[in-house]
Chain A
Amino acid sequence: MKPEDLLQPLPIRAPKCSIGCPVLDRFLAGGIPCNSITEIVAESGCGKTQISLQLLLSAQYPTSAGGLSASSLYLHSEFPFPFRRLHQLSLAHSVLENPLDNIFVCPLKDADDLLDLLPRIDSLLAKPPRALFPIKLIVIDSIAALFRSEFDNNPSDLKRRSSLFFKISSKLKAQAMQFGVAVVVTNQVVDSMDSSEGLRIGNMRWLYSSGRKVCAALGLSWANCVNTRLFLSRTEEKVGDEDGGFPLTRTRRFISVVFSPHLPNSFCEYVVAREGVFGVDRSQGFCQTENDEPEFQRSFIVFGMKLRQVYTFIQQDLHNLCQSIVGDLINYSKNSL
């Protein structure tokens, strides 16, 4: 390869992968961009995995519908793999033909595991097996879990860790560029302990979630390794008193841009429903989900509800669970025949 080969004509616009909701797509100026790394930072229970799973499905849509007509690779370090939820989500995408066939899943133990794996998927990215779509989406859920243990808080370990960050990121970016892949990594948060002036990264002075001051895990050097960082947060909002005296609350969730080369400093509310994650367009006064604000029904704290309501909820969930298990069994028996 000669250096002059690295001179590239500027593409018209990087292709983007729809996130599966028009409001959120508008917020992200079209979706998750290919050829770069997008990081989703959030505490648990905000919907990181939900969004990643939804991406796996929406990537399969044709480009005319905002997708990438591509299959995807899901590397998970959080166990177990949320198969049931993925299946439930896939039901909402009935237009897709066998959507689960176009998703490759691979578990990861630690960072070295990932570093081993990445060079090996080159051939998979270059040539997809059988008659499948090419892989255009890699999701790593989550990157923080790979570095959970085995690194101490001393200078030599920190140095080794940050060198690993740059190795991983550089390999991912090279693959993203070479194969036109969109890379999404999720990251956890850590509580920000110091009351003093901490290091400010990105648009917001502090990140707040569930009323706590948090910051993204893995620190400054990892922040240098991603192109775009999005932050998901949740707040509990009191909406009234139930007769038992328990406060009724609901969860409001927001997605905001921490930093990005192409997105302005902005935020958007979203809800997590059974059919997936949807942005809320308050300016137009409607919710993008089919049912009317399902989040409203679901996020009431169980204590605040009457027993009968709890019962119907449990019943409903049991019903869903049974359905999905039956679905799994049918699929399983189909495959084994």
Chain B
Amino acid sequence: MVHYVFLLGAQSAWDMLHEEKSCKSITTSCSDLDEILGGGINCKEVTEIGGVPGIGKTQMGIQLAINVQIPAQYGGLGGKAVYIDTEGSFMVERALQIAEACIEDLREYDSFLRKDGKPCQINKQPNDFLANIFYFRVCSYTEQIAVVNYLEKFISEHEDVKVVIIDSITFHFRQDFDNMALRTRLLGGMALKLMKLANKFSLAVVLLNQVTTKYSEGSFQLTLALGDSWSHACTNRIILYWNGNERYAYIDKSPSLQSASSPYSVTAKGIRNSVSNCKRVKMM
């Protein structure tokens, strides 16, 4: 096909479709959720995931940081992860647990693929997974902005980074802001930078967000934090919520996916398909 480039950087929709098809996505390890997401968390997009405390946002973040590293021959991206922790909830022991379960799954998949009795090809250790997570711990919103600005340089030096996770985007922006217009500007600028990053390096950006109550028409309603203008900042928006005793994920906004919801569960192995029996264990 011959390209006539009239405008620098312009692309035809056909090219874009082609490109989008070649673009991979990161599995969430929950096949129901992957299905409604069209394969998982897409690269080149900014996805926001929000929910109440304890619903599993951080678990989702850690799971994605591990899953992005699944080697290409097993349908993964074989990439690395940048994890920006603003809340201090990233627990290494939990990441190790999820990495172990991931290796176990890969081994199982591997033995399923080759029945000829060849030895297993997976020689990854849980610690290798951890070594591929670049962990930034930020303690103020100025640091958060500085890190986001620095990411472009960092990722151009580490091109195999395929996912950037910010857990959470909100925390430092919920204090000390008398000037809401300034906050909106700062957040808008940050979202723009992240969007650019996602496009330039074809990586997935995942922003975790908190929920808050919004006072409107005389009553309090639950909504994701950071206000209305922020809700335009992300390509996709997924809301995690409780439905009875099950956790559900709901696609609230997406240009390409239809809104749908799917159950998921948080297990010892990480995010998995929901099993409806009660999982509460008695430890002692």
Contact = CB atoms under 8 A, between A and B. Distances in A.
Contact of B154 (A4, A35, A224, A283): A4
A69 interface: no
Contacts of A259: 53-54
Interface string B121-138: 000000000110111111
Contacts, number: 147
Nearest to B149: A3
Interface string A67-82: 0000000000000000
Given A224-B53, A261-B59, A283-B284, A7 B134 contact: yes
Contacts of B245: 205
Contacts of A8: 135-137
Interface string A162-197: 110011001001101110000000000000000000
Interface string A1-43: 1111011111111100000000100110100010111000000
Interface of B: 52-54, 58-59, 62, 87-95, 130-131, 133-140, 143, 146-147, 149-150, 154, 170-172, 174-177, 210-213, 215, 222, 242, 245, 268, 279-284
Interface string A251-274: 000000011111011111100000
Nearest to A172: B88
A221 interface: yes
A11 B94 CA distance: 12
A208 to B, nearest CB: 14
6 pairs of A and B residues whose beta carbons are closest in the complex:
A259-B54, A166-B175, A202-B54, A3-B150, A262-B91, A174-B139
Given A4-B154, A8-B137, A261-B90, A201 B53 contact: yes
Contacts of A29: 93
A220 B52 CA distance: 8
A233 to B, nearest CB: 14
A332 B19 CA distance: 78
A6 B83 CA distance: 11
B276 to A, nearest CB: 15
